[in-house]
Structure 1
Amino acid sequence: MKFIRLFIIFTIVNTCIYAQETISYHVSSPDLKIILTCNPAQGTYSITKGKRTILQNSKLGIIREDEDFTKALKVVGTAERKLKESYVMLNAKKKSITYTANELVISTKTPTGKSMNIIFRVSNDGAAFRYEFPEKDPSLRKIQSEHTSFHFPEGTLAWLQAKAEAQTGFEHTNPSYEVYYNMAIPVGTPSSSANGWVYPALFKTGDTWVMLTEAGLERNYCGTALQRLSPGGEYRINFPQEAEKIKGGALYPESTLPWITPWRIIAIGDLATIMESTLGTDLTPASRLKDSSFVKPGKAAWSWVLEKDKATIYPVQKKYIDYAADMKWQYCLIDANWDQTIGYDSVAVLADYARKKNVGMLLWYNSAGDWNTVKFTPRDKLLTHEERIKEFGRLEEMGIKGIKIDFFGGDGQSMIAYYHDILTDAAAHHLLVNFHGATLPRGLQRTYPNLMTAEAVLGYEMITFGQDAANKAPQHMVASAMIRNVFDPMDFTPMCLYKIPNIERQTTAAFELATAVAFLSGIQHYAETPDGMDHVPVEVKDFLKALPAQWDDVKFIDGYPGKLYVVARKSGSKWYVTGLNGEQINKSLALNLTFLKNKTGKLISSGNDSDSHNGFFAKEVKIPASGELKIDLKKNDGFVAVFE
């Protein structure tokens, strides 16, 4: 009898444990097409879209120094709600954005009673989740690792950029997200770098596209990446290398409680869905600026990219101010060593001269610290709050409108906090910010609207350094537009319409012009010089003078990463349609522009050699009732068209 009672108790206990381990929780997108399933006891989740598995059993959880939140989690409660939020962006693919999603919060406890909530959100364009430690405790907690993974089905292809190892490259300035993309590689392919793969990471499983990134990165967490190895197509979260921090500062995440981690974002859909998605800012905190009236997107003249250091002198910069004014561009950037070759007093004179011509001055800075050995100045002026306030106050008095800060040291928590601190202090002095040699913005432009752009890309300057980079440029520029630039502004510094010194450009002039619309940047710094612009036909100059500095809406038209990108951007009543051919083959396109049917516009393309003017051919085009526009592109060619 005693044996029977023990057997019954044992059976009940095991049944309860089994039931806990097999309970799954589901949350779907508002249109019911995407379903995320979570099993907290097993520490896994999966995602389907329709009948297709997008992510198979992937891992959840975090290991803190004081507790393991990856296993034996007991669910103590759940909460569901529907979300709908509208916001406005001045520096994005769309101005007025509405985010609609279903949220599921699963509250768990470890066997020792410590709490962690897993917060899921699923929208029609993807899913996202993060972890929350809701307890209140002033003691510092430290995270050792994040267990999160993304497990793709067999046969999935990936478009990935390796994350350069810390302290490598020019004057020990890596990682700065400046590496070429690996195109259409099988999942599971190891990264060429021990530092893994950067975000955004693009995948294709069957006919469905997936993009991974993170957002909501606060000063109490490090920037993450994907690990170098992904056995079986399972990508795990990678923390930064030891050197990616400020000396004496935190590398891995540490914080008091309560504490919430960044969002892990999984955009899902066809290519148009990914290209038009705004998840990268939907899941980022709203603006923290009390006053954003000084935030004005624009276009900028910039001497350094083609003329290099010799141009950073007073008379040349005055010439570039005149150039910006003539082109009706809003800004002019003076690059490195200006404090030595021009000086603060003379820059103040230039700033006053520029103001009278309705041009704002931007100045370069070295992020400094022990993380880079770059000698360019000004440096060592931004490291503390007191130093920043002193320097930014001086710039504000001089009438400077913004700063470009270069050569950051990686993704450690202390370095991420440095970005936040710069943006906060710059805003207090009405300064716009451009981060160069930097990490991916991860939606910071919504939280700090004065963040106008960031490099975090192998940009145009590399094309000017060597022929090999110029040869790779067409494919790389198309890939960058469709991966790096999807959620965050990108300071590629594009567009040389005439000549690159000592380099044989591989793109047509029309391709170069098209990048002015294809690439998104709060301030778009153009590579072309005043002398080069003198060789451009008047219709191209007029196009660039009238080109909007910000956009109201976007429509992806056609494309494939690295091969072709055709997109339409709206400003006011006008639609700008642009295309880039990233391959060395001629293409005949039949574009579906039904939203523009029966409208007449102006097309600028390469045309035939016999009818082109310095590489350009302009003509009037009308979209027929069918909505189909046919365009022929040469190798590495492009076009722009404007309809109203």
Structure 2
Amino acid sequence: MFKRKMIAWMAMIGLFYSCQPSVDTTSNQVSSPDGTLVLTVALSETGNASYSVTKDGTAVLETSQLGVRRQDGEFTAGLKLTATSESKSIKDSYTLKVGKRRDNQYLANQKVFTFANAQDQIMEVIFQLSDDGVAFRYHFLGEAGEQKFITDELTTFNLPNDARAWLQPCADAKTGWAQCNPSYEENYLMDISVNQASPTKAGWVYPALFKTGDNWVIISEAGLDKNYCATRLEPKSPEGEYKVGFPQDAEQIFDGELYPESTLPWYSPWRVLAIGSLKTVTESTLGTDVATPAIAGDFSWVEPGRASWSWVLLKDDMTNYPVSKQFIDYASDMGWEYCLIDALWDTQIGYEKIQELVDYAATKDVGLLLWYNSAGNWNETFQTPKDMMLTPESRMAEFKRIKEMGVKGVKIDFFGGDGQSVIEYYHEILTDAAEAGIMVNFHGCTLPRGWQRTYPNLVSMESIKGMEFITFDQKDADVAVPHCAMLPFTRNVFDPMDFTPVAFSEIPNIKRLSSNGFELALSVLFVSGVQHYAETAEGMQAVPEFVREAMRAVPVKWDETVFVDGFPGKQVVMARRSGKNWFIAGINGETEEKALTLDLSFVKGLQGTMINDGMTNRDLVQDQITVAEDGQLPIILKPNGGFLIQLSE
């Protein structure tokens, strides 16, 4: 009912403007550089601010609310639009250490709308429209020394009522193993009504994917600084209207902040919406385009790479000296850059033996990564080393110690929360690690939200139900195939994801449904600054040599990414270029064989190899191929299957 009333109200506004020829009807609009996206700002009779978005004249977002409720002032109703800036072109270029594209260009049109509330307090809403989407954020002006507090954000994203959604529920705080939730580790609900409520009280996590008509929309968040909490979408979306939600009460640490608080001036994070075809939104870099630029410093020491690690298939007892040494040899044999030694290394190996492993690994051109527990008293995890990250003093002492030992990076686990105090903790760890010269990978954690641009030493974050869950429970293994076919369209669009893929051998007590071609393809489909491969040395020796050679060849640093084919949860084919080498990978998320004709016109005439599934889902075959001059390549995707193509320019 509310949506229908608002549509009627906007129609009346349009009629009013059409009867007032002296009014500039474009002053309340901003468009993308190519003119296909148009955002319109409106103010109701009661002073409620709203916006709407069209793509090629078709509604993508209907009337959606703007506003913030601050403890010292309401910016929700009774607002006056006091100023509208001229449209300004925003240009930016930047390079990423980690991501689907190394060199990035951003071009957008910006317009700032200034509102005053009943107390004449000022709130700006900054809109930026690029050809691939919309970004906007709030700005509170002033120089107040005292803290200001936000108690609610009224921002909504109002999808047409017939739109469809692909969403991951947000686990409720303090649920799950050892009370570690939320850590963005739930399975997606796919192709659901925009009226369907989340099964959890916490709502839905970003990125959230929608389809309305011919257009796709990915909603996320970027530029999250220490002065705001991470947000999500609230669990209920009446008539397709999703509201920004704040964390639950238990999502704070150190007795610190839960909701946003800061002095003035104060910028909120960016609300990010990639909009367009599935190709447009999947290739979009909008989540890093508006992220905070890199902190000052020389980060030439940050080197993305591939890693072996024992824990995901062998678990806790195998975190010991002889097994770790074997996995260093394994990484060396595969030409991988790193070996991760996971939880309990401090008690089951010890610092003295870790030093021996670091020195041994150096002779093999392999760098060591070490696991840490982030947790204080906010969950019930027991794994050590624990508590070393909690204070700046203990954190820097540990970082300096392992840096002097020759350790290259850390994996820090078990955060479980999105309150502002937790977000501050992430920033402080990343800042200290950067100063110490340590790469960072977070697990059991929130979404990166573009932090890999701000902190070039952040090589990856988990924030996904990854390979470990497939090893834990058959019910997760049963849905892993469509789950993997979702991730290039959602979680991995803007940010690195440490899924820890690729297991060719059988998993103890689990029936793996994915084929070995499927597993091989994940090495390319999933983007992570350090790609931790699940397979063991024994499992790798059991596959053909051409598969091992492919696993040696697949890089993690990408110059270019092209979406080729796919549909969320059903199938995906992506092409990535590193230097003059192209890697094209595809997976089938369903149980029926599919015949596809791929448009590879961007690599027409190139020659190379294709590894595909053989007679069984554990067999792999390799063929020589040449992409025809028309760029068309027919291919068969086996049920739950996959392939990898390698081409050279």
44, 52, 55: which is aligned to 1:46?
52
User: d(CA) in 2 for partners of 1:342 and 1:164?
Assistant: 34
Give CA deviations for 1:153-185 in whole Å, capped at 9, x if unaligned. 111000001100000000000000000000000
Which of 313, 317, 327 is matched with 1:320 structurally? Answer: 327
**Which digits, 9 at most, give the CA deviation of each residue in 1:322-347, with x for residues without a partner?**
00000000000001010000001110
Identity of aligned residues (%): 50
Partner residue of 1:60?
Answer: 66
Question: What is the rounded CA distance, in whole Å, between the counterparts of 1:412 and 1:167 in structure 2?
Answer: 13
Aligned counterpart, 1:34: 37
Paired residues of 1:24 and 1:39 also in contact (CA < 8 A): no
- Partner residue of 1:3? none
What one-letter code is carried by the residue in structure 1 that aligns with 2:294?
Answer: S
Aligned partner letter, 2:41: C
Is the contact made by 2:161 and 2:195 (CA closer than 8 Å) also made in structure 1?
no
Report how far residue 370 of structure 1 moved: 1.4
| Deviation readout 1:272-312 (Å, 9 max, x if unpaired) | 00110000100101110412011110000010000001110
In the other structure, the counterpart of 1:10 is: none
Aligned residue for 1:257, secondary structure, equals coil
Is the CA contact (8 Å cut-off) linking 1:557 and 1:568 kept in structure 2?
Answer: yes
Residue 146 of structure 1 corresponds to 153
Q: 1:191 aligns with which of 198, 205, 210?
A: 198
Matches of 1:518 and 1:321, distance apart in 2: 25
**Cα pair distance change 1:289/1:535, threshold 3 Å:** farther
Q: CA deviation at 1:247?
A: 3.2
Q: Deviations over 1:198-246 (max 9, x none)?
A: 0000000011100000000000000000001111110001000011011
Contact (CA 8 Å) 2:358, 2:407: kept in 1 or not?
Answer: yes
Q: 1:85 aligns with which of 61, 80, 92?
A: 92
Query: Residues 348-497 of structure 1 correspond to what in structure 2 (within 5 A)?
Result: 348-497=355-504
Query: In the TM superposition, what whole-angstrom CA distance separates every residue of 1:433-458 from its partner, at most 9, and x where no partner exists?
Result: 11000000000000001111111100
Cα distance in 1 for residues equivalent to 2:244 and 2:555: 38
Q: CA deviation at 1:264?
A: 0.3
Runs (4+) off by over 3 Å = none
Aligned equivalents of 1:537 and 1:23: distance in 2?
A: 63
Is 1:136 the equivalent of 2:143? yes
AA of the residue aligned to 1:46 = S
Q: For 1:595-626, what per-residue CA distance to the aligned partner results, in whole angstroms no more than 9, with x for missing partners?
A: 111211100011335xx9x6110010111122
Gaps of 5+ in 1: 1-14
Q: Deviations over 1:75-109 (max 9, x none)?
A: 22222310111111120110110000000011221
Alignment counterpart, residue 73 of structure 1, candidates 65, 69, 79: 79
Residue 625 of structure 2 corresponds to residue 618 of structure 1: no
Task: State the 1:409 CA deviation.
Answer: 2.5
Aligned residues: 626
User: Could you report, residue by residue, the CA deviation over 1:477-536 in whole angstroms, capped at 9, with x for unpaired residues?
Assistant: 111222111111000000001221221210111100000000000000000001101101
Aligned residue among 256, 276, 284 for 1:277? 284
Write out aligned runs for 1:518-533 (5 A): 518-533=525-540
Matched residue type, 1:118:
V
Distance apart, 1:23 and its partner CA? 9.4
* C-alpha distance in 2 between matches for 1:202 and 1:372: 31
Match of 2:244 in 1: 237
- Residue 564 (str. 1) matches residue 571 (str. 2): yes
| Kept in 2: contact 1:289–1:449 (CA 8 A) | no
C-alpha distance in structure 2 between counterparts of 1:459 and 1:199, whole Å: 16
| Stretch deviating more after TM superposition (262-271 or 495-504) | 495-504
Q: Deviations over 1:44-70 (max 9, x none)?
A: 000000121000000001000000011
Deviation, structure 1 residue 379: 0.6
Q: Counterpart of 2:287 in 1: which secondary structure?
A: helix
- 1:75 maps to a residue whose letter is L
After superposition, where does 1:295-310 map in structure 2 within 5 Å?
Answer: 295-310=302-317
Structure 2 contact 65–154 (Cα < 8 Å) conserved: yes
Segments of 5+ residues of structure 2 without an aligned counterpart are: 1-15
CA distance in 1, matches of 2:556, 2:239: 44
What SS class does the counterpart of residue 281 from structure 1 fall into? helix
Q: Is the 8 A contact 2:251 2:416 kept in 1?
A: yes
The equivalent residue for 2:226 is 219
CA separation in 2, counterparts of 1:481 and 1:594? Answer: 21
SS at match of 2:497: coil
Question: Are the counterparts in 2 of residues 433 and 450 from structure 1 also a CA contact under 8 Å?
Answer: yes
Q: Is the 8 A contact 1:301 1:333 kept in 2?
A: yes
2:581 alignment counterpart: 574
The residue number in structure 1 matching 2:173 is 166
Structure 1 position 24, deviation (Å)? 6.3
Deviates more, 1:67-76 or 1:129-138: 67-76
Match of 1:630 among 613, 634, 641: 634
1:344 maps to a residue whose letter is Y
User: How much has 1:372 moved relative to structure 2?
Assistant: 1.0
TM superposition score normalised by structure 2: 0.95
Which deviates further from its counterpart, 350-359 or 37-46? Answer: 37-46
How far 1:188 moved relative to its partner?
Answer: 1.4
Q: What secondary structure sits across from 1:135 in the alignment?
A: coil
Contact 2:517 2:612 in 1 (8 A): yes
**Alignment partner of 1:107 is 2:128:** no
RMSD after superposition: 1.6
Partner of residue 134, structure 2 = 127
Amino acid in structure 1 at the alignment position of 2:337: Q
Question: 2:339 matched to 1:335?
Answer: no
Letter in 1 for 2:628: P
Equivalent in 541, 544, 554 of residue 551 of structure 2:
544
Do 1:478 and 1:563's aligned partners in 2 also have CA atoms closer than 8 Å? yes
Residue deviations 1:460-481, cap 9 Å, x none? 0011112221111100111122
Contact 1:91 1:489 in 2 (8 A): yes
CA contact (8 A) 1:245 1:409 kept: no
Aligned to 2:3: none
SS at match of 1:139: coil
CA distances 1:576-603 after superposition (whole Å, capped 9, x unpaired): 1100101001011100111111211100
Aligned to 1:642: 646
